[in-house]
Amino acid sequence: GRFVQGEMPTIDRSDDPDGLPPDLVLGAVPEVHTGRHPAADASLAETPHAIVERVFGVTLLQLRGRLDERFDPAPLTPHLKGRLLVDTSGVENITSYGIRGLLSLFEHAQTTSITHVRCSVPFIQQVGMVRMLLGGGSIVSFELPYVDPVNGNAFTVTLDGKVGERALRERKPPPWTCPGYPDRDARFDEHAESYLSFADAFTADPDPDLRAVIEGLAAEHRRREVEKGVDADGTHIWIRRPLQASFRWRNLLGGLEGRVHLDLEDTPSWTEEGVAALVRAIRKEAEAIESLCVTHAPRPLISGLLDAGLGERMLGSTGRVHAVCSSCGVPRRLALGFEKLAALHEGSPLDGRCPSCGGGLVSTEDFSELGPLPTETIPPVPVAEPVPTPTPDAGPPAVVWVALVVAVAVVIVVGWWLATASH
């Protein structure tokens, strides 16, 4: 069995001295992520909510986004034949319409077996109430939701194999520490008894063909951990891996210049040492960086960049804010511009509403120690100093008197020279 935190599988980089993905091409615009399996033999169907492919003789169905009334299973079901592997790691939410769509999809699929992999938290929550969502199939791996009890940072851990089997058998999630705080225990963010209720549908050892497809999905996630591209708007860097000190940040950020955009929306976690290493790497290139737009930046990173004197170059950046709903108690994550972060810094309440119940959101982080945040979107235009106008009765300025004295002296010298030359 294995643990995978924040949807990021453990990566062995012992043979990679730089710690960078082997196929990362610096300076190239990254390809658009399609969600397709890297070893797919054929692409069978694609909708806004799903992709169907044929991989190693297995039909792979990847579901994604919010499954609601817009989810249409009709274009997908004709292609769901034979052994079916269902990946729901990209599913963010499932409404009652989505449940009906999934039930219809599995009912009309012409499959010999159905296996579910990387089951997302929303999918498992619905399976606990509607077991038919599995379509009579089994589960190979699933996510567990955890939350940092201090700052509200929510993250997931993916279980499979013997570890997952034991957690389901005992209906007890394994203990886990908070990202960046190894001495702080995370809280399981669900009711264990009801969430871990599908032991009879779990299999710890899928057949080799299915495992090969599953490993390919994990490899695709690893490949996309770091991407870097350069275009007319500047340099764009996407970081989808934890911010850790062991990563060679200087190798990734070396040579940065001009306008830089650092996207941390999918960064799952960070450590204090990792943030410090990233700040050092950015500061080393600071002289050549014209502007630094960091989106979804964690609070420690904002503090580090401000302390490094880069605040005025961070116009347009956003900070990641962890909050909790005052009504339903559900943890939420927001991305706020520096103007709103400055308001939090000054003690103002968080301006936001829970998307589920409409309750007010309360920040679980302390922004009082942040330095001054730049809030101007456009730097002010310098105003020229006015030139003083002399008053009429002030007489000629001093520079005029100096010029007259010099002219008289020149006339005297020239006259003396001519008189001497005539004798």
pLDDT at 388: 37
Asked, colleague to colleague, whether 2-26+37-222 and 224-363 share their fold, the answer is: yes
Q: Comparing C-alpha atoms, which of 235, 226, 233 is closest to residue 255?
A: 235
Do residues 338 and 375 lie in contact, with contact meaning Cβ atoms separated by under 8 Å?
Answer: yes
**Residue range 295-304: average pLDDT?**
90
Statement: residue 227 has pLDDT above 70: yes
CB of 317 closer than 8 Å to CB of 295:
yes
Residue 111 has pLDDT above 50, yes or no: yes
Band the pLDDT of 123: cuts 50, 70, 90.
very high
Domain ranges of the chain: 2-26+37-222, 224-363
Closest by CA position to 243, among listed 230, 260, 226: 226
pLDDT of residue 221: 62
Q: Which residues of 356-395 are buried (b: 16+ CB within 10 A; e: fewer)?
A: eeebebebbbebeebeebbeeeeeeeeeeeeeeeeeeeee
Query: For 36-57, how does the pLDDT look when each residue is reduced to its tens digit (9 = 90+)?
Result: 544 445 578 899 999 999 888 8
Q: Return the pLDDT at 137.
A: 95
More confident residue, 177 or 136: 136
Instruction: Tell me: pLDDT of 377 over 50.
Output: no
Number of neighbours of residue 24 by Cβ within 10 angstroms: 17
Which residues neighbour 175 within 8 Å (Cβ) at sequence distance 6 or greater? 185
Who wins on pLDDT, 395 or 223? 223
Q: What percent of the chain has pLDDT over 90?
A: 36
Query: Mean of the pLDDT values across residues 326-331?
Result: 80
Q: How far is the C-alpha of 373 from the C-alpha of 363, rounded, in Å? A: 18
Query: What mean pLDDT value characterizes the chain?
Result: 79
What is the mean predicted confidence (pLDDT) over 383-393?
A: 36
Region 70-86 average pLDDT: 94
What gap in Å lies between CA 198 and CA 116, rounded to an integer?
12
pLDDT level of residue 25 (50, 70, 90 thresholds)? very low
* pLDDT at 31 (0 to 100): 40
Q: Say yes or no to pLDDT of 229 above 50.
A: yes
Q: Note the pLDDT tens digit of each residue in 265-285.
A: 888 778 888 899 999 999 999
Q: Give the pLDDT band of residue 307 (cuts 50, 70, 90).
A: confident
Distance of CA 334 to the CA centre of its chain: 12
Residue 217 has pLDDT above 70, yes or no: yes
Q: What's the pLDDT tens digit per position in 178-209?
A: 876 778 899 999 999 999 999 999 999 888 88
- Average confidence (pLDDT) over 324-348: 84
Q: What is the mean pLDDT of residues 205-214?
A: 84
Question: Angle 246-296-237 (CA atoms, 0-180°, nearest 5)?
Answer: 60
Residues 44 and 79: their CA atoms lie apart, in Å, by 7
Question: Does position 116 have pLDDT exceeding 70, yes or no?
Answer: yes
Range scoring the smallest mean pLDDT among 54-58, 254-258, 339-343, 407-411: 407-411
Is residue 392 over pLDDT 60?
no
> pTM of the full predicted structure?
0.58
pLDDT score recorded for residue 29: 37
Q: What is the mean pLDDT of residues 350-355?
A: 82
Class level of CATH domain 224-363: alpha beta
Higher-confidence position of 363 and 382: 363
Residue 152's pLDDT is 72
Query: Does residue 209 or residue 73 have the better pLDDT?
Result: 73
Which has the minimum average pLDDT: 152-161, 366-375, 376-385, 400-409?
376-385
- 332 — pLDDT class (breaks 50, 70, 90): confident
CATH superfamily, domain 2-26+37-222, is: STAS domain (3.30.750.24)
